[in-house]
Structure 1
């Protein structure tokens, strides 16, 4: 049996019909509203790009233009094309600075990252006074570079330095740390490691604390040892942070300037009597503000930029494989 019951229609409301704000905006100022929604984010981030263009892109372009000229500081400019780069490639002093820079970078960066990773892993565990130790590893970072250089120069002194005094117990003759390349590299590298290891350790520690604890608990239930958990869980999960730390260390290591200048004592930018620890940054400053050859110094700056790019690509090819990623 089917019953057909007619339901009366609801009465129509009198008066103006309400419209939503979005629909009203679409009728009246829809184009302007859509423009605001699209343009406002770009407007809010535009100060950064303006500052970057003013203090980043413009100096790069101006330096590139200067590198194509024979330009003495305060003198006339003569267009040379790529002659500065050709002369720079054949300059033994420049390549000596490149070798010194890469040598100090390798000796300092590899132990620095290993120590930072070990410190971060130790501070990530439950130990007494954990906050005290975390703050303690940041103390070298807030120390003045000049103070660090003065202390380490005294430590590596030939006659009264504590390093030579300690080596004397093993029958080692006093070492002239500034007279040879490898000794100067080692002294400067320890100075860099002491200052920047804690900084990298804090970054890695912050990344370790974001790793879910459930992964470690599940691994413990499966019988994984703490060492295996470190290599199978911690290191793969830290890969993005490790890439960042390696990039920052590469840029800082290849633009090294303050530590070797202060280690020299007499800031002539020569890096020793024979340039045994002169870095590329010191070479650029020497050419620009002691020899007053701005064009040649600008070409060396662009060569340093290319060296940094090569170093980042090489390091990225290694770090991207961490954790089994190829």
Structure 2
């Protein structure tokens, strides 16, 4: 009798587990088809010469040798990091300051302002790139050049010169992501217990001391998360330079993702594009490991203190 109940119980347990696996299986199936398989195939393809139509031809490490001898590839790496820094660092600082303002009890219509700040994030990225392409037009009537004319500065070739290209694309990145990071910081601020601020007020702490000694230390995990996601996002920058520069993707503004896209879908060289994707993957993994190492060190130091 006991054996029968035990076997029946195991059967019910297996049925429950099977039901759970069936419910979560769509995610793993879709991830395997659209995520895991392309990554494995891209790694495989990086050792072959293929134009997408004819038979694959194994060429070993020649694809990697080609991109490492291509000055445009190194320009794409440099551009990716420069545009990422120019668009990310000011963005995080601005998002933190705006979050402080939106979290203030003195601000009226806070929900309205929060919605307005978040709107750029849900705006079509193609629309954003087109609008900023008009703002940073090379002609004197372009908004940016028209504004500079008030300071007796001549028109700038925003999509051709070295630094103007990066400034224009970084501005797009800043405008689109500052609202998202503001909401993340705001959520972190609202999770801080109010009792800490009340105790600090009783002890005579000023607003600046409360921010420096309570808010910023408590926001450290949120800040690390924002820096991590912003870094990964900057390494995947593609649509902004493509729309702003066109299919030509000038060397002054081409990014790593744009470089591998051009090799694959403009030059039909899927092997070198896959090799560039592998290099980008290794860069992301390295930066992720560094971020995790720094996060763990900060967490340990916090526990010790």
Q: 1:69, 1:78 within 8 Å by CA — same for their partners in 2?
A: yes
Match of 1:52 in 2: 31
Counterpart-to-counterpart distance in 2, 1:242 and 1:163: 32
Choose from 264, 283, 286 the match for 1:307. 283
Which residue pairs with 1:289 in the alignment? 265
Which sections of structure 1, spanning at least 5 residues, go unmatched? Answer: 1-18
User: 1:20-99 alignment to 2 at 5 Å?
Assistant: 26-27=5-6, 29-36=8-15, 41-99=20-78
1:178 paired residue number: 159
Contact kept in structure 2, 1:68 and 1:80, CA below 8 Å: yes
Q: CA deviation at 1:168?
A: 2.5
Q: Aligned partners of 2:3, 2:206: CA distance in 1, in Å?
A: 64
Q: Which deviations, in whole Å up to 9, do the C-alpha atoms of 1:10-64 show, x marking residues without a partner?
A: xxxxxxxxx9xxx898446233244456555444433322222222111111111
Q: TM-score, length-normalised on structure 1? A: 0.84
Question: Which structure is higher in helix share?
Answer: 2
Equivalent pairs, count: 300
Q: The residue matched to 1:182 in structure 2 has which SS?
A: helix
In 2, the alpha carbon distance for the partners of 1:70 and 1:220 equals 68
1:253 & 1:303 partners in 2: Cα distance?
Answer: 15
Deviations 1:113-145 (A, max 9, x none): 111111112111112111110111122223222
Paired position in structure 2 for 1:271: 249
Which residue does the alignment assign to 1:132? 112
Answer yes or no: is the 8 Å Cα contact 1:239–1:319 preserved in 2. Answer: no
Query: Partners of 2:217 and 2:104 in 1: how far apart?
Result: 18
Q: Sort the Cα spacing of 1:37 and 1:181 in 2 relative to 1 into closer, same or farther, 3 A.
A: same
Give the C-alpha shift of residue 314 in structure 1. 4.0
User: 3-state DSSP class of the match of 2:187?
Assistant: helix
User: In structure 2, how many angstroms separate the alpha carbons of the residues matched to 1:313 and 1:27?
Assistant: 47
3-state SS of 2:225 partner: helix
Q: Assess if the C-alpha contact under 8 Å between 1:242 and 1:319 holds in 2.
A: no
**Worse-matched range after superposition: 135-144 or 59-68:** 135-144
Q: SS state of the match for residue 170, structure 1?
A: coil
Q: Compute the RMSD of aligned alpha carbons.
A: 2.4
User: In the TM superposition, what are the counterparts of 1:197-276 in structure 2 within 5 Å?
Assistant: 197-264=178-245, 267-268=246-247, 270-272=248-250, 275-276=251-252
Q: Paired residue for 1:16? A: none
| Unpaired runs of at least 5, structure 2 | none
Match of 1:280 in 2: 256
Distance 1:312 1:42, change over 3 A: same
**Is this contact kept in 2: 1:73–1:292, CA < 8 A?**
yes
- The structure having more radius of gyration, on CA atoms, is 1
- Among 55, 79, 100, the residue aligned to 1:100: 79
TM score, norm. by length of structure 2: 0.89
**Inter-partner Cα distance in structure 2 for 1:88 and 1:146:** 29
| 1:71-100: CA deviation from partner (whole Å, max 9, x where unpaired) | 122112111222211222222111111111
CA distance in 1, matches of 2:102, 2:289: 31
